[in-house]
Structure 1
Amino acid sequence: MLAQLFINNIAVIERASIDLERGFTVLTGETGAGKSIIIDAIHAVLGERTSRELVRTGTQAASVSALFTGLEPDVLAALGELSVPEEEDGSLLIQRDIRLSGKSTCKLNGAPATVSMLKRIAPRLISIHGQHESYELLSPEVHMDYIDSFARVEDLRGRYQASYRRLRQLQGKLEDFNTDEGEKARQLDLLRYQIDEIEAADIRPGEQERLAQEREAIRNSEKIAASVELSKALLSGDEDRGGVLSDLAQAAAEMEKAASFLPEAQEAAQKLREASYLLEDADAALHSLAVEFDPSALDAIEERLDLLYRLGLKYGGGEEKILQYLADCQERLHAIEFSDEEREKLEAEYEEEKKRAIALAKELSQKRQGASGKFTAAVKKELAFLNMPGIEFVTEIERVPLHTGGCDKLRFLVSANKGEPAKPLSKIASGGELSRIMLAVKTVLSGMDKIDTLIFDEVDTGISGVAANRVGEKLKQVSHNRQVLCITHLAQIAAMADNHLFISKHTEKGRTFTKVEQLDFEGRKQEVARIISGDAVTELQLKMAEEMLQRS
C-alpha cells in the first residue's frame, strides 16, 4: 500500500508529508485548495508525463516521493527483474525530481531509474480512477479490456496477438512479392547489368592503392634513377671522386693502428669499422636495386584506376564496398528469380498461421461469451446497490474479421428506463451515471487483480442523496481488503471514511500555500458540517455531521 507521500514545491504545495493508512481514506477541502495537485503528484511518481508548470513559482525544481509497504510477491519479483536494490523490510521508495530546465530524474530505492521503469511498476502498485477514466467507458475498445480482465484470458490474448502480428508480417511479404511483372523484369535487367559490370572488372581488394603507388613511381622514374646513381657514386666513387666507403675503411684502419698504442681509441675504431660494414651493405642494396620502369604501362594503369574510380562512384567507394554491393545484387537477383518458390513457401506459412490465429481468436471469443453474462450480471447487481435498480446493462458481441483484439467487436449497452432498448453509453448515460457505472465495473474487477491501492478522484460527480450513500458504502466495502483513497465533495461519502485528510490553502506574504492535515473526530465533524452547509456552520449542521459520523 501507499504508506507515505512527500511533496516538495509542487504548484501551491510548498511542502507536505502525508501519512496514509489502510482502509478507506477521503480527501476533502474547498474547490481549488489543491486536492487535484496531490493526484498530479501521484501520477508523477507513477511515471506519467509531467509539466514544468508543476514546479512552484520562484523555485527551480520540485520533487515527489512515495513509500510503498507490504508489497505483493509479483511486485517484488518485477523489482528484482529491474535490478532495483532490495530493502530489508520489503518496502519501495519512488522518488522523482522535476526541474524547470525540463529534465527530470527518477530513483527506485535510491538507485537511478528511468521513467519507463516507473511505468512498468506503476500498474502493480496503484490504480487511479478519475473523471476522465469514467469517460473511457464511452470507448468500446476499453470494454473488451474489461471483459478480458474478468475472463482472465491475458495469456490467451497474448498468444493470439503474437500470431496475428506474425500473420500481418507474412501478408506484407506476400504483397512485396506481388509486384507487377513489368517491374520485376526491369529489376532483373538492372541487377544483371550491375552484376556483369562488376564481375567483368575482376576487382581485388587493395588493388587501387597498389596501382596508385605504381603510377607515382613511373611518373617520377627519372628522379628515382638519378637519386640512386648519385647515391652509388657517393658511396663507391666514380671517375671524378673517391667514395665514402674507401675513406671510411681507411679511417677505420688508421684508428685500429692507433688503438694498439692507445686503448682509449678502441671504441672509435670499432664504431668506424661497424659504420663501414653498414655502408657496404647499403652499397650492395643500391647495386641490386632494379630501377627499370616501363612508361608504356602508365596508360594501362591510368585506365584501370579510372575504371575503379567510376565503379566506386556508382557502387559505393572502395573495392570492399563494390564487392559487397555485388553480393547484395546477387542475393536480390536470386530472390527474384526464385520468387515463385518463395511465394509458394510464404503462402503455405501464411495459411498455417491464419489457421492458428483463427483458432486462437475463436477460443478467445468463446471465453468472452462465457464471461460476459457473468460480468454483466455482477455489474447490474452493483448498480442496483448504487441506486440504479432499473438500469439494463448488457454486453453486445459481434463477429468481425480478425483484428488486434481477435474476431469480436464488443461494447456495453445500457437502458436507464424499463421498456427502452439498450443503447451505447455515449447516448444514454449522464456524468453521474457514468461515475456509478465505472464504480460498479471497478468493484466487479477489483477481485481480478492484486493492486493494493485504489484512488477515486471525484467519483461522486453528478450524484447526491441515496445514490451518494450507496457510493460511500461501496467504497467502504472495497476498502475491506485494500487501501482506498477518494477525493470527494459529498458529506455522505466523507462521513464513511476510516481516515480523513483535509486540504486547505492560505495566503502569506503574497504567496499561496496548501496544507494537508489529518483530522480527528472533532475536526471531521467540522469538515462534514462545512460540506453540508457550504457556508457558515450551524449547531444543527454540526449535530447532523456528528450523527452521520457515528452512524457510519
Structure 2
Amino acid sequence: MLLRLNIKNFAILEHVELDFHTGLTVISGESGAGKTMIIESINYLYGKRASQEDIRYDTEGSIIEGVFDFPDTPRMKELLEEYNISEDELYIVRREIMQNKKSIIKLNNHMITLSQLRTIMEEVVSIFAQSSQLDALDKRKHILYLDKFLEIQNEDIFSEYQKDHQKYQAIVKKIEELEYRDRNRRDSLELYQHQFQEISALELKEGEEEQLEEELEYLMNFEKVFDSLSAIKALLSSEKSPQGTLYELNQQVESLSQYDSEFKDYSPTIMDGYYIVQEIEAHVTSAMSSMDYDEQRLNQIQERLNSINFLKRKYNKTYEELLSYLEELDNDIQELENISHSFEKLNSEKEALLADMEKNADALHTFRNERKHFLESRIQKELMDLEMSQVDFEIKTRQDKFHARGYSDVQFMISTNKGEPLKEMNKVASGGEMSRVMLAIKSIFAEYDQQSILILDEIDTGVSGGVATKMAEKMKILSRSRQILVISHLPQAAAISDYHLYIYKDSDGERTITNTRYLTDEDHVYEIARMLSGQDVTEAALLNARSLIKTNTTVD
C-alpha cells in the first residue's frame, strides 16, 4: 500500500505531504484545486515518462516521493533480486524531474531505470481514469483476464506450451543471427581465415613471451651478469670468506652456550647461513662455467619479439588475448563453414517444437472455448448489479499467430442496447458505461490480483442515482482486500469512504497554492452536502448527507 506521498513543485502543487491509510479514501474538492495532479504525481511513481511541462513555474525542478509497503509475492521477490535491491519493510520510490536535466529515479536510494520502475510498480498499483486507456479496453489483456479466471496457469499443457515457446523463441533468434551472418559469410570467412593464418603462422605458445623477455634481458646485460658473478666468486674465495667466518662463529657460540644457555638457539641459525652461502658458491661456479654469449640467439629473440609485438599492436591485444582470439577464430571459421548444417539442425528443432506447440495450443484454445461462458455469465451478473441489464457481453476467441499463451486471440465484445450487434468495447461503450464494466471486471478479479493499490480517477463521471450507489458499494467491497484511492464527485462514494481527503486552493497574494486536509466527521457531512446540492449548502442538504452516510454504513 501507499503510506506517504511527498510532492514538491509539481504543476500547481508547491509542497504537499500526505499520509494514506488502508481501505477506501475518497478525494474531493474544488474544481481546479489539483485533485487530478495528486493522482498524476502517483502516476510518475508508477513509471510515467518525465515531462518538464509538469515542473512548477519558476522552480528548478519537481520531486515526488512515495513510501510503499510492497506486496510479499514471489514475483516481487524475483524482481527485487533481479534489480539488486535488498528486501525491506518499506520501499521509498523517488522521482526527480529537473529543468534541462535527465530525470532521476531511485528505489530505496538505488538508481533504477524507468522500465524497471514500471515493471515493479505494475505489481503494486493499478490506475484507472476515464481519460486514459483502461485495462478493459486493452485488447492484449483480455486473454490474461480469461486465463486468470479459468486458472489455466495450473494446467500441465500450459506450462508445457510455455517451455516449448521459450525454446522456440531462442531458436528463432539463433536462426536470425545465422541469417545475418550468412549474408556477410563470404567476407567474414575470408577475413577470419586471413587473421587465423597470420596469427597461427607464429606458432605462439603459452608463456613464451615472458620466457623470451627474460632471456633477452640476460643476453643484453651479459657483461653485468659476468662481473657480478666474478665479484661474488672472489668474495667467497677470499682468505676471510663468509663461509669460513660463519663456521668459526658457530664454534665460538657453541662453546659459549655451555656457560650461557641463551646462546644455544643461535647455532642452528648460523649453520643455516653457512649452508646457504655454500649453495650460492656452487650456483655461481656452475653459472660461470656455462656462460656463453650468443649474439645470433640475441638477434633471433629480438626478431621473434618484434613479430609478436607487431601482431599485438595490429589486433590491439595482449599475448594471452592473441592466444584466446586464435581459438575464437578457429571456432568462427568452423561455424561459418558449417552454417548450412547449422541451419538444417535449427530448422529441424524449430519444426519439432512447432508441432508440440500446435498440439498444446489446440488444447488450450479448446479449454478456453469450452469454459469462457463461466466468465461471461459472471461479468453479465456484475453488470446487472450495476443496472446494466440491457447489456450483452461475450468473449470472442479465434485462432491467431503463436504467442506466449498459445495462439488464441481473445476479445471482450459488448452491446449496450438490446438488439444491437456486439462490438469491441472501445467502439461502443461510453465513459460511464466503461467505468462500470471496469468495476465489474475488477470486482471479479479482486481475489486473483496481487496488486495492493487501486487508484480510480473520476471514473464515476456521467453516472448518478442508483448506478452511483452501486458503484460506490463495489468500491467499498474492493477496499476490503486492497487500498483504494478515488477522485470522485459522487456523494455516494464519499459517504461510504473510510477516509475523506479534501483538496482546496489558497493564495499568498501572488500565487495560487494547493492545500489538503482529511475531513473531520462534521466537515465530512458538510462536504457531502455540498456535493449533493452545489455551492449553497442548506439544512436540507445536511440532513440528506447524514442520512446518506448512515444508509451506506450498512455495506460493511
Return the TM-score normalized by structure 1.
0.73
> Quick one: which amino acid aligns to residue 171 of structure 1?
V
1:139 matched to which residue of 2?
Answer: 138
Are the structure 2 counterparts of residues 539 and 184 from structure 1 closer, same or farther at C-alpha, using a change threshold of 3 Å?
Answer: closer
- Structure 1: how far apart are the matches of 2:97 and 2:181? 56
- For residues 216-295 of structure 1, the aligned pairs below 5 Å read 224=223, 290=291, 292-294=293-295
1:423-445 alpha-carbon deviations (Å, 9 max, x no partner): 12232222222222211211121
Asked if residue 322 in structure 1 is aligned to residue 322 in structure 2, the reply is yes
Asked if residue 84 in structure 1 is aligned to residue 74 in structure 2, the reply is no
Q: Measure how far apart 1:550 and its partner are.
A: 3.7
Are the structure 2 counterparts of residues 462 and 205 from structure 1 closer, same or farther at C-alpha, using a change threshold of 3 Å?
Answer: same
- Structure 2: how far apart are the matches of 1:363 and 1:167? 18
Match of 1:95 among 74, 89, 92: 92
**Secondary structure, aligned partner of 1:447:** coil
- For residues 298-309 of structure 1, the aligned pairs below 5 Å read 300=300, 303-309=303-309
Q: Measure how far apart 1:397 and its partner are.
A: 1.0
The answer (yes or no) to whether the contact 1:72–1:450 under 8 Å persists in 2 is no
1:271 matched to which residue of 2?
Answer: none
The answer (yes or no) to whether the contact 1:495–1:548 under 8 Å persists in 2 is yes
1:434 matched to which residue of 2?
Answer: 434
Percent identical residues: 29
**Secondary structure, aligned partner of 2:549:** helix
> Quick one: which amino acid aligns to residue 152 of structure 2?
V
Are the structure 2 counterparts of residues 473 and 293 from structure 1 closer, same or farther at C-alpha, using a change threshold of 3 Å?
Answer: closer
1:538 matched to which residue of 2?
Answer: 538
> Quick one: which amino acid aligns to residue 137 of structure 2?
L
1:236-271 alpha-carbon deviations (Å, 9 max, x no partner): 9xxxxxxxx99999xxxxxxxxxxxxxxxxxxxxxx
**Secondary structure, aligned partner of 1:33:** coil
Are the structure 2 counterparts of residues 388 and 185 from structure 1 closer, same or farther at C-alpha, using a change threshold of 3 Å?
Answer: same
Q: Measure how far apart 1:158 and its partner are.
A: 6.3
Are the structure 2 counterparts of residues 427 and 21 from structure 1 closer, same or farther at C-alpha, using a change threshold of 3 Å?
Answer: closer
- Structure 1: how far apart are the matches of 2:78 and 2:287? 76
2:382 matched to which residue of 1?
Answer: 382
- Structure 2: how far apart are the matches of 1:439 and 1:138? 13
> Quick one: which amino acid aligns to residue 365 of structure 1?
H
**Secondary structure, aligned partner of 1:376:** helix
The answer (yes or no) to whether the contact 1:134–1:434 under 8 Å persists in 2 is no
1:14 matched to which residue of 2?
Answer: 15
1:260 matched to which residue of 2?
Answer: none
> Quick one: which amino acid aligns to residue 84 of structure 1?
E
Greater shift after overlay, 59-68 or 410-419? 59-68
1:295-339 alpha-carbon deviations (Å, 9 max, x no partner): 6x6765565445434444555544433322221222223334555
1:145-175 alpha-carbon deviations (Å, 9 max, x no partner): 2222222234666664443232022133345
- Structure 1: how far apart are the matches of 2:182 and 2:73? 60
Q: Measure how far apart 1:207 and its partner are.
A: 4.5
The answer (yes or no) to whether the contact 2:182–2:339 under 8 Å persists in 1 is no
- For residues 508-527 of structure 1, the aligned pairs below 5 Å read 508=508, 510=510, 512-527=512-527
The answer (yes or no) to whether the contact 1:25–1:500 under 8 Å persists in 2 is yes
1:30 matched to which residue of 2?
Answer: 30
- Structure 2: how far apart are the matches of 1:349 and 1:15? 59
| Structure 2: 5+ residue stretches without partners | 242-273
1:424 matched to which residue of 2?
Answer: 424
Are the structure 2 counterparts of residues 159 and 220 from structure 1 closer, same or farther at C-alpha, using a change threshold of 3 Å?
Answer: same
| Structure 1: 5+ residue stretches without partners | 86-91, 237-244, 250-273
The answer (yes or no) to whether the contact 2:123–2:451 under 8 Å persists in 1 is yes
- Structure 2: how far apart are the matches of 1:380 and 1:84? 41
- Structure 1: how far apart are the matches of 2:178 and 2:306? 38
Are the structure 2 counterparts of residues 229 and 194 from structure 1 closer, same or farther at C-alpha, using a change threshold of 3 Å?
Answer: closer
The alignment covers a number of residue pairs equal to 507
1:51-92 alpha-carbon deviations (Å, 9 max, x no partner): 7856898798856454659x778799889977535xxxxxx4
- For residues 153-552 of structure 1, the aligned pairs below 5 Å read 153-154=152-153, 160-177=161-178, 191-205=192-206, 207-208=208-209, 224=223, 290=291, 292-294=293-295, 300=300, 303-339=303-339, 342-480=342-480, 482-508=482-508, 510=510, 512-552=512-552
> Quick one: which amino acid aligns to residue 201 of structure 1?
L
Indicate the structure (1 or 2) with the bigger Cα radius of gyration.
Answer: 1
- Structure 2: how far apart are the matches of 1:447 and 1:181? 52
Greater shift after overlay, 357-366 or 386-395? 357-366
- Structure 1: how far apart are the matches of 2:400 and 2:79? 40
> Quick one: which amino acid aligns to residue 142 of structure 2?
H
Q: Measure how far apart 1:551 and its partner are.
A: 3.6
- Structure 2: how far apart are the matches of 1:6 and 1:312? 58
2:148 matched to which residue of 1?
Answer: 149
> Quick one: which amino acid aligns to residue 144 of structure 2?
D
1:11-63 alpha-carbon deviations (Å, 9 max, x no partner): 436354445353x4322111232323433454566676677856898798856
**Secondary structure, aligned partner of 2:174:** helix
- Structure 2: how far apart are the matches of 1:78 and 1:218? 62
Greater shift after overlay, 131-140 or 394-403? 131-140
The answer (yes or no) to whether the contact 1:431–1:462 under 8 Å persists in 2 is yes
**Secondary structure, aligned partner of 2:476:** helix
Q: Measure how far apart 1:460 and its partner are.
A: 0.5
2:256 matched to which residue of 1?
Answer: none
> Quick one: which amino acid aligns to residue 486 of structure 2?
C
The answer (yes or no) to whether the contact 2:47–2:121 under 8 Å persists in 1 is yes
Greater shift after overlay, 205-214 or 193-202? 205-214
Are the structure 2 counterparts of residues 13 and 95 from structure 1 closer, same or farther at C-alpha, using a change threshold of 3 Å?
Answer: farther
The answer (yes or no) to whether the contact 2:382–2:440 under 8 Å persists in 1 is yes
The answer (yes or no) to whether the contact 1:18–1:516 under 8 Å persists in 2 is no
Q: Measure how far apart 1:489 and its partner are.
A: 1.0
- Structure 1: how far apart are the matches of 2:324 and 2:348? 32
The answer (yes or no) to whether the contact 1:10–1:41 under 8 Å persists in 2 is no
Q: Measure how far apart 1:191 and its partner are.
A: 4.6
1:160-214 alpha-carbon deviations (Å, 9 max, x no partner): 4443232022133345556899965665565555444433332234545665677
- Structure 1: how far apart are the matches of 2:359 and 2:544? 61
**Secondary structure, aligned partner of 2:346:** helix
Are the structure 2 counterparts of residues 75 and 504 from structure 1 closer, same or farther at C-alpha, using a change threshold of 3 Å?
Answer: farther
The answer (yes or no) to whether the contact 2:9–2:61 under 8 Å persists in 1 is no
Are the structure 2 counterparts of residues 177 and 520 from structure 1 closer, same or farther at C-alpha, using a change threshold of 3 Å?
Answer: closer
The answer (yes or no) to whether the contact 1:505–1:514 under 8 Å persists in 2 is yes
- Structure 1: how far apart are the matches of 2:287 and 2:479? 100
- Structure 2: how far apart are the matches of 1:168 and 1:80? 26
Return the TM-score normalized by structure 2.
0.72
> Quick one: which amino acid aligns to residue 153 of structure 1?
I
Are the structure 2 counterparts of residues 318 and 494 from structure 1 closer, same or farther at C-alpha, using a change threshold of 3 Å?
Answer: closer
**Secondary structure, aligned partner of 2:137:** coil
**Secondary structure, aligned partner of 1:137:** helix
Are the structure 2 counterparts of residues 57 and 523 from structure 1 closer, same or farther at C-alpha, using a change threshold of 3 Å?
Answer: farther
Are the structure 2 counterparts of residues 8 and 347 from structure 1 closer, same or farther at C-alpha, using a change threshold of 3 Å?
Answer: closer
Alignment RMSD (CA, Å): 4.8
> Quick one: which amino acid aligns to residue 169 of structure 2?
R
- Structure 2: how far apart are the matches of 1:451 and 1:176? 39
The answer (yes or no) to whether the contact 1:495–1:549 under 8 Å persists in 2 is yes
Greater shift after overlay, 497-506 or 437-446? 497-506
Q: Measure how far apart 1:133 and its partner are.
A: 5.6
2:268 matched to which residue of 1?
Answer: none
- Structure 2: how far apart are the matches of 1:162 and 1:502? 51
The answer (yes or no) to whether the contact 1:45–1:66 under 8 Å persists in 2 is no
Q: Measure how far apart 1:496 and its partner are.
A: 3.5
1:98-145 alpha-carbon deviations (Å, 9 max, x no partner): 5576545544xxxx6666897677556544333356544333112222
> Quick one: which amino acid aligns to residue 440 of structure 1?
A
